[in-house]
Amino acid sequence: MNNQNIVAKAIYDVVKEDLTLEQILRFLETPKSVDHGDVAFPAFGLAKAYRKAPQQIAQDLAEKIDGANFEKIEVVGPYLNFFMDKGAVTQAVLGQVIKEKNHYGDASIGNQGAVPIDMSSPNIAKPISMGHLRSTVIGNSIGFILEKIGYQPIRINHLGDWGTQFGKLIVAYKKWGSEEALQQEPIAELLKLYVRFHEEAEENDALNDEARAWFKQLEEGEAEAMRLWKWFRDESMKEFNKIYDMLEVSFDSLNGEAFYNDKMDEVVELLEEKHLLSMSQGAEIVDLTSYDLNPALIRKSDGATLYITRDMAAALYRKRTYQFAKSLYVVGNEQSYHFKQLKAVLLEMGFDWSNDMHHIPFGLITKDGKKLSTRQGKIVLLEEVLNEAIALANKQISEKNPDLENKEEVARQVGVGAVIFHDLKNDRLNSFDFTLEEVVRFEGETGPYVQYAHARAMSILTKADFQLDEAKEYRLNDEGSWEVLKHIQRYPEVILQAAEKYEPSVIAKHAIKLAQVFNKYYANTKILVDDQEKEARLALVYAVTVLLKEDLRLLGLHAPEKM
């Protein structure tokens, strides 16, 4: 139980007749200064029922409330200020963490159902962009967070592996490509071919006709076209996997756009059956005026289906395959309109579960406030960014702790973790700047800072040879411990909030805060001094390690024990 609940219950026991527990909870405030206690109740809310001045009511309540859980209850004007009994609360909270360990904060509400998470979803033959990185790490973290409250995440990489660009790539490869070059650096080579195609096609329109012809072959399943398509896809996948391996992200499904090729007819048939299709300039559309949206373009005049048609097939497939409780799409903000249309068309078709589909948008990564561009070869190669981050981490660890065993492994966990943490620490809709030196710093609000606080806490426990004892009662009464304890106590709410908002930054912010208050505690308190409370202080440090590690896990980071 958190402090607000404890206070509300104590007040409720006295004023049952006049206020509900919910009403009391709504009145409660957290005082700005610790001098005014942990929780405050303004007595105004009872003035009407009691026909008395709020000051008087506060006074009366203070005398009647059971003080068992409180150090003291102060009356200041119309306010009742509750000071929690730190010893009792510490004992309860630490007892719970020690018993539940990394499951502290799990919601015990049972199986909540499957949640497909459409995430990462890069396009074959193009480099993974920083946007795809964001989708990957945000989606991955949301998966862990939802799992903690009882959902079953299904991570889906909806690869962009189909479209007219494959006709162009086949033409370009046949004219100017080489098998060797492609195998050596698949993405760079495919990108080069793609750029060259566009340059040459500007002079020579016949190339576009050839590309269309090849794409048609591909759609008809012609052997040579299929072979090349599959080869491009496989080679691209190998490069993507290098990055996924570094990030330690894995997928339950790689069903991309091509997977739905044979599932598109059904979508069009369903729309026809429901008389939702109309013609507009030769194309088939669904009118969405009643949703205040532009029409959804389902099929072009040449019979080709579109991005949204594929997403409709995918939504149907996911509903049937997973019977999802909800279905998430972690895709950049710029596709908001697409997802509004997608949901509207499905609703129009009578699929109420469309309301369980949520677009989880996010902002851009910028450089000096400007969008990072993938055009004209100015691509930021993610693999390089990660490798540089690892090198930077390695350098700093070598300075701090030259004898560290498995330094390479720790540097990898710190470097890659720094990039992930930087991505997740801001509200996902915010755009943010990316400067590697900032990202890998050991001070400030960074991943390494949190990991370092965890490692420091671990080393205290090792030094003291702390042994877990579930039967022991740990009580602490000092202000310093109390500051740390409060951030342990509120953890279950932090988890629920992160899950409700699909917001990993809530977890990241908790991790930063906990690391900060712990570092302050460590600086001001002699933890290892031999006195009566030593064991209790160690239990508090232990709880800090459990929560920091869990925070990091939920974000997709490791918590090295030494660094």
Task: Name the DSSP letter for residue 561.
Answer: S
- Least separation in angstroms between residue 86's CB and ligand ARG is 50
Nearest residue (CB) to ligand ARG, 85 versus 161? 161
User: How far is 435 from 415, CA to CA, in rounded Å?
Assistant: 13
- Least separation in angstroms between residue 312's CB and ligand ARG is 10
Q: Which two tokens stand for residue 111?
A: 């199986």
Nearest residue (CB) to ligand ARG, 105 versus 116? 116
Q: Do 82 and 70 contact (CB within 8 A), yes or no?
A: yes
User: How far is 99 from 228, CA to CA, in rounded Å?
Assistant: 56
Beta strands in 14-133 (DSSP E): 39-42, 70-76, 79-84, 113-118
Is 269 buried (19+), middle (13-18) or exposed (0-12) by CB count in 10 A? Answer: exposed
Is 347 buried (19+), middle (13-18) or exposed (0-12) by CB count in 10 A? Answer: middle
Nearest residue (CB) to ligand ARG, 244 versus 491? 244
Q: Which two tokens stand for residue 324?
A: 């999802």
CB count in 10 Å sphere of residue 31:
16
- Least separation in angstroms between residue 395's CB and ligand ARG is 34
- Least separation in angstroms between residue 120's CB and ligand ARG is 9
The CA-to-CA distance between both ends of the chain, in Å, stands at 35
Nearest residue (CB) to ligand ARG, 123 versus 489? 123
Question: DSSP H helical segments within 86-205, as ranges?
Answer: 86-100, 130-148, 165-176, 179-184, 186-203
- Least separation in angstroms between residue 187's CB and ligand ARG is 14
Residue among 386, 502, 428, 450 at smallest CA distance from 144: 502
User: How far is 391 from 229, CA to CA, in rounded Å?
Assistant: 36
Nearest residue (CB) to ligand ARG, 293 versus 436? 293
Nearest residue (CB) to ligand ARG, 162 versus 474? 162
Nearest residue (CB) to ligand ARG, 119 versus 506? 119
For strands 296-299 and 283-286, give the pairing.
antiparallel
Nearest residue (CB) to ligand ARG, 158 versus 168? 158
- Least separation in angstroms between residue 154's CB and ligand ARG is 14
Nearest residue (CB) to ligand ARG, 127 versus 448? 127
Q: Do 544 and 98 contact (CB within 8 A), yes or no?
A: no
User: How far is 121 from 156, CA to CA, in rounded Å?
Assistant: 8
Task: Name the DSSP letter for residue 318.
Answer: H
CA distances from 295 to 46, 48, 81, 541 (A): 55, 55, 58, 58
Nearest residue (CB) to ligand ARG, 91 versus 120? 120
- Least separation in angstroms between residue 160's CB and ligand ARG is 3
Nearest residue (CB) to ligand ARG, 105 versus 160? 160
Q: Do 111 and 150 contact (CB within 8 A), yes or no?
A: yes
CA distances from 496 to 46, 305, 328, 378, 544 (A): 31, 40, 17, 40, 19
Nearest residue (CB) to ligand ARG, 328 versus 484? 328
Bridge partner list, 133:
none
User: How far is 228 from 238, CA to CA, in rounded Å?
Assistant: 15
CB count in 10 Å sphere of residue 33:
6
Residue nearest to ligand ARG (CB): 160
Nearest residue (CB) to ligand ARG, 86 versus 132? 132
User: How far is 90 from 482, CA to CA, in rounded Å?
Assistant: 8
| Interaction site with ligand ARG (CB under 6 A) | 118, 121, 123, 158, 160, 311, 314, 329, 331
User: How far is 87 from 477, CA to CA, in rounded Å?
Assistant: 5
Cα Rg of the chain, angstroms? 29
